[in-house]
Chain A
Amino acid sequence: MRVKDSIVVVTGASSGIGRATALAFAGGRAAVVLAARREQALDEVARECEAAGGQALAVPTDVTDPKAVDELARRAVERFGRIDVWVNNAALTLFAPFLDAPLEDFRRVLDVNVMGYVHGARAALPQMKEQGAGAIVNVSSIAGVVPQPYTHAYCMSKAAIRAFSASLRQELMLEGSPSRNIKVVSVLPGTIDTPFFDYTANYTGREAKAMPPVYSPERVARTIVNLVRVPRREVTVGPMARNLAMQAKMTPGLVEKMMALQVDKTHLSRTKPAPATEGNLHEPASGSGSVHGRWNGKRRTAIRRAMSGTALAGVVTVVRRRRR
């Protein structure tokens, strides 16, 4: 599918991956329809998208409300006449020992992360079927493949999204043309440098951090744009996510244990205590949002690449000398 002049709806567009994705599509001369709870942030993203070269429409939306999501689709069609791409991205998370997680918080994560996607797909599909084409991009996570401790609801939701994508894909395939021209793809990012962890609900008593390695949100956005151009069933973002997905197939028990230890040591701070908070679960975070968090994803990736390049060059040099 051509990105230029396509109509793209992005949920969770006020910050992080959603915002980066909206900007990437706008940069490709697509029209973007931006959805999130924060109106002020959406207006700012809309201005940024227009500055990047695309058209933009901001529609404040809570994805847990099916009527609001239907209205989002209606507004998109009303303004631009069609919906080519629907990016289900809005997500929340909750860090807590299982018994300490308030049930309403647990349910809220599942509601946003799973039912929000269901509402999105139900709003987009009739329009796409009518058009005879379209793409639904469901942003899942590598945590949907290799779960993590203390984020039960999030991991459940991300696994559910993968299953939901596959199930819907199968159904559309069985329906035949024109439904089979509607692509359903899942994106499985690793840890991304977004403000996500700063606003998370947290009952662990320890500050939540981005677990290394951290990748930039632009990398996910590029992947999503490329997936629209050339759809694939499921794509991981970041070498670590790819490796984890592979390892989970070969040595699932070992990967599960390693992930548990890794999360305990590096995803939750060992030195910074944190008060119990429901974060942005029930009320959106204040401010105008941002693409990036405070985890230096781009710089870290650049350093990793430089180090890998140096190591590779070293190996090549050694091998060449030995051959002589």
Chain B
Amino acid sequence: MPRVRAARFVTDFDSSVNMVRALGRLFEGKDHSGLSMGPGSRRLANLVSSPPRALRRLGFVGMGASQGIPLDRARFIDAEEIARWVTQQYGLGPFDTVVIGSCTGAGLHLAAALGAPFLPQTTLVAVRDFATHPDDAVGAMHALAPTVRLIARNNPEVSVYHMHDPAQDRPMLQAMAYMRLKRLRLGRAYERFLEERLAPGGTIIQLECERTWRTRAVGERAHFQFGALGGVAEEEYHDNGARIAEYLEAEGSPRRKWEPPEPDARRAEAEWGWDPALGEDVERLARRYGYRLQRLVMEEPQDLSALVADFHRWWYRRIGVPSGRLLVESYVQWDPYWVLRLGVVPFWLRFNMQPSYEDLQTYLNHAEPYDDIYLNLFSQGLWSPGVVPLEKWRELIKSKAREHAEIIGVDEKAYPLDTGSTMRYQPAFEALPFRHPIPPPVTVDDIDVFLENSRKDYARVRWV
């Protein structure tokens, strides 16, 4: 499978793919405009988000359809080729540090500060699905099970998770199904990358998100996960309630509750969770080549955000960059290039939902106040349960910023059905004042020093 085809198989809005693309482009001195796939253009974004609401909603469905590969191509999905594609996004190195494991936007900024490439454990491949109803979990599981099993059988080094979330992924589910490939073995491409491009004595930072989820096996290394981390709690996906009934009614669904299949085990969460099986391979390779293996363990993907924000603040102060500006990013609308050029402190939100809001609130309550706070929010195409209104976000940042607080790169009239969202965030970042040369990368020892001297206790994160 040539490079172009591997790129066709990965999903452009996937968190892991965007970590890889953003870092690859950062190392080439480029930004992450349009998710590194399209232009960053306010005008174009305005044009795209100008149609009426119903058309914009269809636009999200269309985006899902365009990302899904036809079902007859599912047999060509090759996790090893995707891994090779990942390694091709980075230069020849050698790199002092390589980050591997769970995806998290905070981890992206840490890797960017270290000048370290990221090798994701999990990648997303979407297949087209025009047949199943988003609220028919059992129907979707059965309909896609043969495809999940096919991918798992053809790729013995991964577990395949069919992730089905009719809350926040609803427009996408109308045209595609999520197949998340979670590596259990390093595989040849990752091994070669670590052998050849990690400098002798270098460090492997293993990002481990301990989040698990109720899942149901549909075959060997083939699982179905109903729901995902977002605005709906895991229990609510199974127990339903008035909020879900209202949501389904508002969405015009014939159902008033979800009836997911009975789970048979808790497994690593499909998108963010870490499967320890890969750790054995990483440890073996690190031992063989004398690399330092450093584990960075978090309970939830967003738990790392406070630590990474504080680390940037500490680092900026040390190199003489003003550290009073906070840039809050959400989902994959991140840009490590502009974070470093602007000298802003990054705080990553997993999404635009209540749990993310609460985490930011907690952070701002305990952090040394920022002069300026800028906030950008991802648009996922619907008012799914838990989406926090813009006004509430604005109130939060205004109440915490000493001088200036602003929501940037968001079409407030269109949100969260802003079809131009992914073209809008980067020009908004770029428009912020003050530029600095990109500073030389930090080292792993700097993280040790930071943590040793930190007065804060990052209880949900372990650096071991």
Q: How many whole Å from B129's CB to the nearest CB in chain A?
A: 5
| A290 at the B interface (CB under 8 A) | no
Residue of A nearest to B73 (CB): A270
Q: Are B147 and A273 in contact (CB under 8 A)?
A: yes
Q: Are A205 and B147 in contact (CB under 8 A)?
A: yes
| Contact of B130 (CB < 8 Å), options: A203, A265, A268, A272 | A272
Q: How many whole Å from A16's CB to the nearest CB in chain B?
A: 23
Q: Are A272 and B146 in contact (CB under 8 A)?
A: no
| B72 at the A interface (CB under 8 A) | yes
Known: A270-B128, A273-B177. A205 touches B71 (CB 8 A): yes
Task: Point out the residues of chain A lying under 8 angstroms from B127, CB to CB.
Answer: 273
Residue of B nearest to A264 (CB): B72
Q: Are A203 and B72 in contact (CB under 8 A)?
A: no
Q: How far is B128's CA from A205's CA once the two chains are assembled, in angstroms?
A: 12
Q: Are A207 and B144 in contact (CB under 8 A)?
A: no
Q: Give chain A's interface residue range (CB within 8 Å of chain B).
A: 10 to 19
- Chain A positions 1 through 15: 1 when the CB is less than 8 Å from some CB of chain B, otherwise 0: 000000000000000
Q: How many whole Å from A227's CB to the nearest CB in chain B?
A: 37
Q: Are B131 and A274 in contact (CB under 8 A)?
A: yes
- Chain B positions 296 through 308: 1 when the CB is less than 8 Å from some CB of chain A, otherwise 0: 0000000000000
Q: How far is B130's CA from A207's CA once the two chains are assembled, in angstroms?
A: 11
| Contact of B71 (CB < 8 Å), options: A203, A270, A276 | A270
| B1 at the A interface (CB under 8 A) | no
| Contact of B131 (CB < 8 Å), options: A100, A203, A272, A276 | A272
Q: Are A271 and B70 in contact (CB under 8 A)?
A: yes
| A275 at the B interface (CB under 8 A) | yes
Task: Point out the residues of chain A lying under 8 angstroms from B150, CB to CB.
Answer: 205
Task: Point out the residues of chain B lying under 8 angstroms from A273, CB to CB.
Answer: 71, 127, 129, 131-132, 143-144, 146-147, 177
Q: How far is B131's CA from A207's CA once the two chains are assembled, in angstroms?
A: 9
Residue of A nearest to B148 (CB): A205
| A40 at the B interface (CB under 8 A) | no
Q: Are B131 and A275 in contact (CB under 8 A)?
A: no
Q: How far is B132's CA from A271's CA once the two chains are assembled, in angstroms?
A: 10
Task: Point out the residues of chain B lying under 8 angstroms from A269, CB to CB.
Answer: 71, 131
- Chain B positions 101 through 136: 1 when the CB is less than 8 Å from some CB of chain A, otherwise 0: 000000000000000000000000001111110000
A-B pairs with lowest CB-CB distance, top 7: A205-B146, A275-B142, A272-B131, A270-B70, A273-B143, A271-B130, A271-B128
Excluding A100-B146, A275-B139, A275-B146, 13 further A-B contacts by CB distance (< 8 Å) are A205-B146, A270-B72, A270-B128, A271-B71, A271-B128, A271-B131, A272-B130, A272-B131, A273-B71, A273-B131, A273-B146, A273-B147, A276-B146
Give me the interface of B with A, judged by CB distance under 8 Å. 70-72, 74, 127-132, 139, 142-147, 150, 177
29 A-B residue pairs with CB within 8 Å: A203-B146, A205-B74, A205-B143, A205-B145, A205-B146, A205-B147, A205-B150, A265-B72, A269-B71, A270-B70, A270-B71, A270-B72, A270-B128, A271-B71, A271-B128, A272-B130, A272-B131, A273-B129, A273-B143, A273-B144, A273-B146, A273-B147, A274-B131, A275-B139, A275-B142, A275-B143, A275-B145, A275-B146, A276-B146
